[in-house]
Amino acid sequence: MRDRGPQRTEQQTGRTGVDDPATILPQAPELTAQEIGFLREVGQQLRVDSVRCSTAAGSGHPTSSMSAADIIAVLLARHLVYDWSRPDNPNNDHLIYSKGHASPLCYSMFKAAGAITDEELLTFRRFGSRLQGHPTPAIPWVDVATGSLGQGLPISVGVALAGKYLDKLPFHVWALCGDSELAEGSIWEAIDKAGYYGLSNLTAIFDVNRLGQRGETEYGWNLEVYRQRAEAFGAHPVVIDGHDVEEIDAALWNARQAVGKPTVIIARTIKGKGFSEIENKDGWHGRALPPDMAERAIAEMGGVRHITVQTRKPPPVGAGHTGAPSQAARVTLPTYEVGTKVATRKAYGDALVALGGLPDVVAMDGEVSNSTHADEFARAYPDRFFEMFIAEQILVSVAVGMSVRRYRPFASTFAAFFTRAYDFIRMAAISEANIRLTGSHAGVEIGQDGPSQMALEDLAAMRAIHGSTVLYPSDATSAAKLTAAMADTEGIVFMRTTRGAYPVLYSPDEEFPVGGAKVLRSSDRDQVALIGAGVTLHNCLAAADQLAREGVSARVIDLYSVKPVDEGVLREASAVTGGRFVVAEDHYPQGGLGAAVMEALAGDASPPRVAHCAVQDLPTSGKPEELMEAAGISAGHIAEAARTLLNGARLEPAASARSRSQGGAPPDRGGN
């Protein structure tokens, strides 16, 4: 596929780009004196309400709300296109508070829009109220959770990409950013991608109030720094006084008309604006005004108001994307012959192409699609594939933004590099986003590239994400089936794939439900259960063969669903074997497959005894077999751990051994 860029965009739209915002600024219609007065009143109401609700809560961020109140007033009253009674209308604009701590302003805006009552506004931050400390989608007019700074704008890029290239609807995406969060690299990943993809349907508003949490920001009111950066990263920068409603109005008007590039409005504002005792003063970040001060503030700002603003309604619901989920189960998946060697990452790519038959499946990759095999989808469905280059934070954020627009995003990179976006994945769970992440090249099995490329903590990290699903197939058949299952699974779904090609274990008619497990070898005489997933399942099978030659009957379990885990299969194995488990994983000892097994049965009357084969030492480069042998997760180690269990000897817990650096020293081996 050809990469998309501003040039291509302009050709598509048939409009010519306007590169100098100064040339279009005068086109904005002038405001009447009455309009100006009204907008100022709305701004004051938003300030007063921000003070009222945070003082009622006894905490919150009124001053960070007051700086942006005029901007939000003008946006709400004149530019935002939104049907408050139909938050699911696909033609609605999106307004994302990237500075999530301005939640008092956000909720005061809901009141001004008539979406919530004044009474509800005053439940801010109380237990049981949907008006939490930072916005979450528990509120129907909130797309995503914010509060970890530097995430709202990147997610907005995903929403705008969907709007421009998939929905092809005229909605606009507005992101309100704080100046403190402009220090996050993710903000610049976002503006870069917005520029690269020519997202003229996106406007970032920088609320430059100069003050951060503990003092002045990095650049204070040096707006020129931000202007240069926004321009260099591919946006139209527009510098305004963020308290002048006419300047705000012109900037927002022009932003909506923008062609070829996203707009960045850089607004000089005053923290605590409206209340002279705290305006532009340090020490008032994240502090509610005490009641007596709040009273004076409200008086100075002209008292309590209950203006309801009519926002512009979107056009009637069109033929756009409906969001009705299609059934992945109906897709015809690729099949593989048992015994042939196929990498699970290859099966992922094959299955993703098959899923491409569903129009809401979209994919994105971090410039490694020829390794993850997402390139197969990119070739088959170039219009639904988005290259994010080497920038994992925006990779995940764009997936979240696509989920907001009800697409089914599949994002891929090396499993190790999803750790780059861990905060974004954490927040995506709070956003109740539905995203699928596939991480290839897991564990020491990758071989010569060495430890920087080896995911060895991903299972622990991904299992700990709220409501996540963690999958780890061992063969091509299960990888393809699980890729389809991912499409129909909500929440954060992570699948770990393997670099090397291993024999296909399952025939195409096997089913792999999420939460299940496969028992590959079993008898009612089993003395021990060998539990693996991914490459270690193959090692478990080889170990079972070794043990069988010694007369030991070993059950072999494919724990392809690491979370949720199949407690029933584990409990039965424990009962049959007298609680003798060997768990083998290509992962560090903490929090991975072993912990998943232990956590599942820890509450049982007799929890199983687990010999744990995991990667103890810092790995090096070498052949996969050499590295698995050195790490203590080869078939030989698994068989030896089983023998030790059967002898009743003392086991060394894998997780407690303090690891050493790589080198000549023999590695500690779990289960020995």
DSSP 3-state helix, strand, coil percentages of the chain (rounded to 5)? Answer: 40, 15, 45
The SS3 call for residue 653 is coil
**CB 43, min distance to a second copy, A:** 26
Two structure tokens written together for 402: 């696509």
662 touches a second copy (CB under 8 A)? yes
**CB 184, min distance to a second copy, A:** 6
Strands 236-241 and 202-208: unpaired
Candidate segments 243-251, 496-504, 527-535, 585-593, binder of a second copy by CB under 8 A: 585-593
Q: Binder to a second copy among 300, 307, 626, 646 (CB under 8 A)? A: 626
Two structure tokens written together for 390: 């080497």
**CB 604, min distance to a second copy, A:** 7
565 touches a second copy (CB under 8 A)? yes
260 touches a second copy (CB under 8 A)? no
**CB 420, min distance to a second copy, A:** 4
Q: Binder to a second copy among 136, 477, 536, 561 (CB under 8 A)? A: 136
Residue 373: CB atoms within 10 A of its CB come to 26
Indicate the DSSP class of residue 203: E
3 touches a second copy (CB under 8 A)? yes
Could you tell me if 104 and 34 are in contact, meaning their C-beta atoms sit under 8 angstroms apart? no
Q: Binder to a second copy among 437, 627, 631, 635 (CB under 8 A)? A: 627
Site for a second copy in 197-216 (CB under 8 A): 212-216
Site for a second copy in 535-564 (CB under 8 A): 563-564
Question: Pick from 257, 260, 294, 254: which is nearest to 277 by CA?
Answer: 294
The SS3 call for residue 112 is helix
Q: Which residue number, 356 or 589, has a Cβ lying nearer to a second copy? A: 589
What are the start-end ranges of the E strands in 161-226? 173-178, 202-208
**CB 265, min distance to a second copy, A:** 17
Site for a second copy in 510-539 (CB under 8 A): none
Q: Kindly determine how many residues on this chain lie close enough to bind a second copy according to the rule CB under 8 A.
A: 135
Question: Pick from 164, 159, 187, 151: which is nearest to 266 by CA?
Answer: 187
The SS3 call for residue 353 is helix
**582 burial via Cβ count (<10 Å: 0-12, 13-18, 19+):** buried
Instruction: Give the separation between CA 600 and CA 253, rounded to whole angstroms.
Output: 56
453 touches a second copy (CB under 8 A)? yes
Instruction: Give the separation between CA 239 and CA 234, rounded to whole angstroms.
Output: 16
605 touches a second copy (CB under 8 A)? yes
In this structure, the dihedral spanned by the alpha carbons of residues 430, 96, 288 and 128, taken in order and rounded to 10 degrees, is -40
Q: Which residue number, 86 or 609, has a Cβ lying nearer to a second copy? A: 609
Instruction: Give the separation between CA 430 and CA 530, rounded to whole angstroms.
Output: 36
Candidate segments 221-229, 242-250, 346-354, 531-539, binder of a second copy by CB under 8 A: 221-229
Q: Binder to a second copy among 7, 276, 310, 370 (CB under 8 A)? A: 370
Could you tell me if 152 and 142 are in contact, meaning their C-beta atoms sit under 8 angstroms apart? no
**CB 437, min distance to a second copy, A:** 14
594 touches a second copy (CB under 8 A)? yes
Question: Pick from 409, 558, 371, 539: which is nearest to 472 by CA?
Answer: 558
Instruction: Give the separation between CA 638 and CA 581, rounded to whole angstroms.
Output: 10
Two structure tokens written together for 110: 């809901």
Could you tell me if 318 and 91 are in contact, meaning their C-beta atoms sit under 8 angstroms apart? yes
Two structure tokens written together for 91: 């033609």
Instruction: Give the separation between CA 235 and CA 264, rounded to whole angstroms.
Output: 6
Q: Binder to a second copy among 43, 90, 104, 150 (CB under 8 A)? A: 150
**CB 337, min distance to a second copy, A:** 28
**CB 71, min distance to a second copy, A:** 21
Instruction: Give the separation between CA 489 and CA 620, rounded to whole angstroms.
Output: 36
The SS3 call for residue 546 is helix
Residue type, 284: W
Instruction: Tell me how many degrees the CA angle 275-278-279 measures, rounded to the nearest 5.
Output: 70
**Main-chain phi, psi angles of 520, to 5 degrees:** -90, -30
- Pattern 41-70, binding to a second copy, x per CB under 8 A? ----------------xxxx----------
125 touches a second copy (CB under 8 A)? yes
602 touches a second copy (CB under 8 A)? yes
Q: Which residue number, 216 or 277, has a Cβ lying nearer to a second copy? A: 216
Q: Binder to a second copy among 603, 647, 665, 666 (CB under 8 A)? A: 603
Strands 528-532 and 580-584: parallel
Q: Binder to a second copy among 6, 21, 147, 198 (CB under 8 A)? A: 147
Q: Binder to a second copy among 225, 259, 542, 646 (CB under 8 A)? A: 225
127 touches a second copy (CB under 8 A)? yes
Q: Which residue number, 169 or 374, has a Cβ lying nearer to a second copy? A: 374
568 touches a second copy (CB under 8 A)? no
429 touches a second copy (CB under 8 A)? yes
Site for a second copy in 404-423 (CB under 8 A): 416-417, 419-420, 422-423
Candidate segments 75-83, 138-146, 474-482, 528-536, binder of a second copy by CB under 8 A: 138-146
Q: Binder to a second copy among 240, 368, 554, 573 (CB under 8 A)? A: 368
Q: Which residue number, 38 or 165, has a Cβ lying nearer to a second copy? A: 165
DSSP character string of 447-487: -TT-GGG-BSSHHHHHHTSTT-EEE--SSHHHHHHHHHHHH
Indicate the DSSP class of residue 87: T
184 touches a second copy (CB under 8 A)? yes
Q: Binder to a second copy among 89, 92, 132, 344 (CB under 8 A)? A: 132
Instruction: Answer yes or no: 392 catalytic.
Output: yes
Q: Binder to a second copy among 120, 244, 300, 432 (CB under 8 A)? A: 432
Q: Which residue number, 44 or 397, has a Cβ lying nearer to a second copy? A: 397
Question: Which entry of 392, 445, 457, 585 is annotated as an active-site residue?
Answer: 392
**CB 381, min distance to a second copy, A:** 16
Q: Which residues are catalytic?
A: 392
